[in-house]
Structure 1
């Protein structure tokens, strides 16, 4: 009941979930949870039931995590890369090297920063995204990461719109015109 179940890595659990899905849905509904199964992408997870005024409120069992700006940015960039890979119709797995991820994020980091310190910060953001389950380390010699398809469920159009609005707010606060008006 904790984390994401993937068809390719949790074969026994995936099989049981497929066979017992109606029973699992009924069981977790009592706890105020909903099972989300994406057969085409090969993952399943639990989320809190949307609030319903006709039902009594249920305590939140699935924690909400506040993400830093750079972790949110990395998730948005990974989602974009996944969409590009899906559009190209190539390999269903998206594997990015550590260098590719660093290059993607460096564009959005402050200029003039010490390169070693910048890479350490990006590595910290990468570690957080791995802990959240959106990336998985591969067994290649060079450090590389598989983008997990669950990122599509988390980073949807609404999430991107909210993130875009926050980016606009940050840009407005940091613009020189905002400083002169204050």
Structure 2
């Protein structure tokens, strides 16, 4: 744990520019985290001028920027700063399955980190991949989805542990409990569709 930063030494440009680059985690960005928490009101006011909202979850230890709704941006005459990107089916499926696994994990062992191996991730996704004799192609699809989830900040490679990944808690902010409650129904429908193909 680094020593606390004095109020006069807090740096608004550092806090905002780091948030602009992506999710900030307390455990991996300790010093920047202190700037964000110490200046949270100023960060919120600053990014609001850009049509953004800062989302801070101190309990889980992450912060990120989110665009305001399209209606709110249009009303204010502000263009969307961050373009929306469509996720592939496999990436969306992986993120949903990881969120479900995190919810199950939290119900039994709250507070710890959810660590999965690449083999566990492939096993988790395999019922939802088209049946094929080409296992290498299926593994490539999972690997591509996993890389995208890492790029989005939902998953982190564990240093010095090849093939081990941490599911980051920020995923809870993007896949909410209501959506998760409907997930089993959607997954069953998807699995049925694959079985019929």
Counterpart contact for 2:73–2:80, Cα < 8 Å: no
Match of 1:147? Answer: 167
Calculate the TM-score normalised by the size of structure 1: 0.84
Name structure 2 gaps, 5 residues minimum: 1-19
Q: 1:64 to 1:157 in 2, by over 3 A?
A: farther
Which whole-Å deviations, capped at 9, do the CAs of 1:22-60 have from their partners, x for residues lacking one?
111111111111111011111001111233399423111
Cα deviation, residue 20, structure 1: 0.6
SS of 1:122 mapped into structure 2:
helix
1:80 to 100, 124, 127: 100
> Secondary structure of 1:152's match?
helix
Q: How many residues align?
A: 177
User: Which residue, out of 140, 145, 149, partners 1:125?
Assistant: 145
Structure 1 unaligned spans of 5+: none
Q: Is residue 12 from structure 1 mapped to residue 59 from structure 2 by the alignment? A: no
User: Please, which of 36, 43, 54 is the counterpart of residue 62 of structure 2?
Assistant: 43
Q: Is the 8 A contact 2:127 2:191 kept in 1?
A: no
TM-score (norm 2): 0.78
3-state DSSP of counterpart to 1:35: strand
Give the whole-Å Cα distance in 2 for the aligned partners of 1:28 and 1:175: 47
Q: Please, which moves more after superposition, 62-71 or 46-55?
A: 46-55
The structure with more helix, counted as a fraction of residues: 2
Kindly state the Cα deviation for residue 21 of structure 1 after the two structures are TM-superposed: 0.7
